[in-house]
Amino acid sequence: MIPDLGKYAGAVLGAYGASILLLVLLVAVSLWQAARIKRALAGVEARAKAGAATEATDA
């Protein structure tokens, strides 16, 4: 399946390997941060909503 890269196989595969690794890392970190902040914000918003409801009841 892999084409015959001849004497430059190491260079070509190294370039593709390093690039794909960097791209996968970037995408993974971006997705992980997005999920983490989304979850944390949902928690804070729920707390804020609960706090507002309690204040309304007390009033």
Query: Is position 34 an interface residue for another protein (rule: CB under 8 A)?
Result: yes
What is the C-alpha separation between 39 and 43, in angstroms, rounded?
A: 6
Name the minimum Å distance from CB 20 to another protein.
9
Cβ partners under 8 Å of residue 5, min gap 6: 12, 13
Q: Using the rule CB under 8 A, which residue among 28, 47, 50, 53 binds another protein?
A: 47
Query: Is position 46 an interface residue for another protein (rule: CB under 8 A)?
Result: no
What is the C-alpha separation between 32 and 16, in angstroms, rounded?
A: 24
Query: Is position 3 an interface residue for another protein (rule: CB under 8 A)?
Result: yes
Q: How many CB atoms lie within 10 A of CB 17?
A: 10
In the complex, the residues that contact another protein under the rule CB under 8 A are: 1, 3-9, 11-12, 14-16, 18-19, 22-23, 25-27, 29-31, 33-34, 37-38, 40-41, 44-45, 47-48, 51
